[in-house]
Structure 1
Amino acid sequence: MSEQAETIPQRIMVVAAHPDDAEFGCGGTIAKWVRQGATAYYLVCSNGDKGSDAFGITSEDLARIREPEQRAAAAVIGVAEMTILPRRDGELLYGLDLRGDVVRWIRTWRPDAVFTHDPSAIINANGFVNHADHRATGAAAVDAVYPFSRSPLQYPEQIAEGLQPHTVPELYLWGANPPDFWVDVTDSVDCKLEALRCHQSQFSDFERMTQFARERLQRVGEEHGLGYAEAFRRITFRRP
């Protein structure tokens, strides 16, 4: 199915491992839904300080470059608020702390839908290896959505600080194999690519990357009678 017949979530939270993951994974969908009235939030779980093959740049310098790149990209998409956690690229491990960070921001932003990496795939739907940080982040986000953010007995120190439990009705996983939900992003594909352009440290040939991204989005769309499209696995938690 596509989302066209559905009511869009009004508050959207994206949980991504690195700077640029959100734009690659769901940038067209978030840009589209923001323009239809949704409010979007980004939680980026690492500073991306290892995201380069270039010699002569330090991790510290790369982190300083990538934060403003990510903030600029989020602004292009229309994100209302963004947090980058002080964690290092390549060192994200699933556990109480990372999951607790996601729970904290779910309870703070109180989204109707969470988007994140599919943690179940080592090789994802587009044929790429699913980075270990992606798997850790996706697992933390999935478990934060259910059951941890909704229970007052989980992370009670957050409740003591004044945060309240929150139930997220919908979860969307990008890179899913197989997906079961497609969003037509024909009207927002240019916004997605403009946001990706902000990540200049990541692309030696932006035009080649743009062509690759367009072709992939077009291929996904054509398979489902759409123009350009992004694909997800969608999980709903609404009670009957």
Structure 2
Amino acid sequence: MLDAEFKTVLVVTAHPDDIDFGGSGAIAKFVDAGADVVYCLVTDGDAGGFDRTVDNGGMASVRRAEQTAAAACVGVTDIRFLGYPDGMVEQSIGLRRDIARVIRQVRPGLVLTSTPDRNYARLGPSHPDHRAVGGATLDAVYPDARNPYAFPELLVDEGLEAWTVSEVWLMGSMTADHYVDVTATVDRKIAALRAHESQTGHMDDLDSFVKGWLSANAAKAGLPEGSFAEAFQRVVTA
């Protein structure tokens, strides 16, 4: 299911490639439906990758370029990097303010982010940066972005009026309850993942890996055999 009422969508993740593993098939569908989609990356991903001949500063540049190329695969051009250090993100007041600022700038109906909960079935989604960003994003959605008295400098100094987000979809949740049929966009999702060459270049079985888990999601959603789906936990926040 894809709710066409969302004309503006904001994706907030910790690292380049998080959105492409978690939700770029759905993002491609939103773009195809005419929605404006903005990516907000809390870090540059400078602590990721397997080539240790590249220092952290060089890796940040590589991963920003990879995320830009990946976003183009699904039609997204507005990408904002907050510049926090990879691997050391904390659910801080400062991060809440920075995400609330982007929410007030973009004014989305829907926000996609990582679950703040630890996933005991699949450890990958439980990276500490993922959990910190997910928690800070939920706090920025409620109460920060909608409360004109929260971070008054955003209104007084930057002219950013309060904004209420209607829904948040959490990626990587153990309790997914919302599925998006991405059968028509799965190839663009895989292309986006391949654009993150520093992270996926060693994965000879990337296609089968991605389609395997998306096929399992589709089965849980009751979609026909041969379908692919992305899974989210839907949180109504308005």
Range into which the TM-score falls when normalised by the shorter chain: over 0.9
Does residue 148 of structure 2 align to residue 149 of structure 1?
A: no
Q: 1:115 to 1:156 in 2, by over 3 A?
A: same
Give the aligned residue type for 1:174: M
| Distance in 2 of aligned mates of 1:42 and 1:199 | 15
Q: 1:156 to 1:58 in 2, by over 3 A?
A: same
Choose 48-57 or 173-182, whichever is displaced more.
48-57
Residue in structure 2 matched with residue 130 of structure 1 by the alignment: 126
Q: CA RMSD in A?
A: 1.4
Contact 1:180 1:234 in 2 (8 A): yes
Residue in structure 2 matched with residue 75 of structure 1 by the alignment: 72
- TM-score, with length taken from structure 2: 0.94
Does residue 228 of structure 2 align to residue 228 of structure 1?
A: yes
Contact 1:39 1:80 in 2 (8 A): no
Counterpart pick for 1:216 among 213, 218, 222: 213
Describe the superposition over 1:51-107 as per-residue Cα deviations: whole angstroms up to 9, x where unpaired. Answer: 023332210111111111111111111114110111111011111111111000000
| Distance in 1 of aligned mates of 2:145 and 2:55 | 36
| Distance in 2 of aligned mates of 1:124 and 1:165 | 36
Give the CA deviation at 1:203. 2.0
Instruction: Give the aligned length.
Output: 234
Q: 1:212 to 1:72 in 2, by over 3 A?
A: same
Give the CA deviation at 1:38. 1.0
Counterpart pick for 2:92 among 92, 95, 98: 95
Counterpart pick for 1:11 among 8, 16, 33: 8
Describe the superposition over 1:12-65 as per-residue Cα deviations: whole angstroms up to 9, x where unpaired. Answer: 000010000011111000101110111100000001001023332210111111
Choose 215-224 or 43-52, whichever is displaced more.
215-224
Give the CA deviation at 1:129. 5.5
Does residue 47 of structure 2 align to residue 50 of structure 1?
A: yes
Residue in structure 2 matched with residue 165 of structure 1 by the alignment: 162
Choose 228-237 or 218-227, whichever is displaced more.
218-227
- Match of 2:28, SS state, is helix
Give the aligned residue type for 1:24: F
Matched ranges for 1:192-203 at <5 A: 192-203=189-200
Give the aligned residue type for 2:172: G
Identity of aligned residues (%): 39
Give the aligned residue type for 2:78: E
- Match of 2:95, SS state, is helix
- Match of 1:71, SS state, is helix
Give the aligned residue type for 2:142: Y
Residue in structure 1 matched with residue 19 of structure 2 by the alignment: 22
| Distance in 1 of aligned mates of 2:152 and 2:121 | 37
Choose 82-91 or 13-22, whichever is displaced more.
82-91
Give the aligned residue type for 1:73: A
Choose 11-20 or 50-59, whichever is displaced more.
50-59
Does residue 52 of structure 2 align to residue 31 of structure 1?
A: no
- Match of 1:29, SS state, is helix
Contact 2:110 2:165 in 1 (8 A): yes
| Distance in 1 of aligned mates of 2:73 and 2:5 | 20
| Distance in 1 of aligned mates of 2:25 and 2:217 | 13
Unaligned 5+ runs, structure 2:
none
Contact 2:50 2:199 in 1 (8 A): no
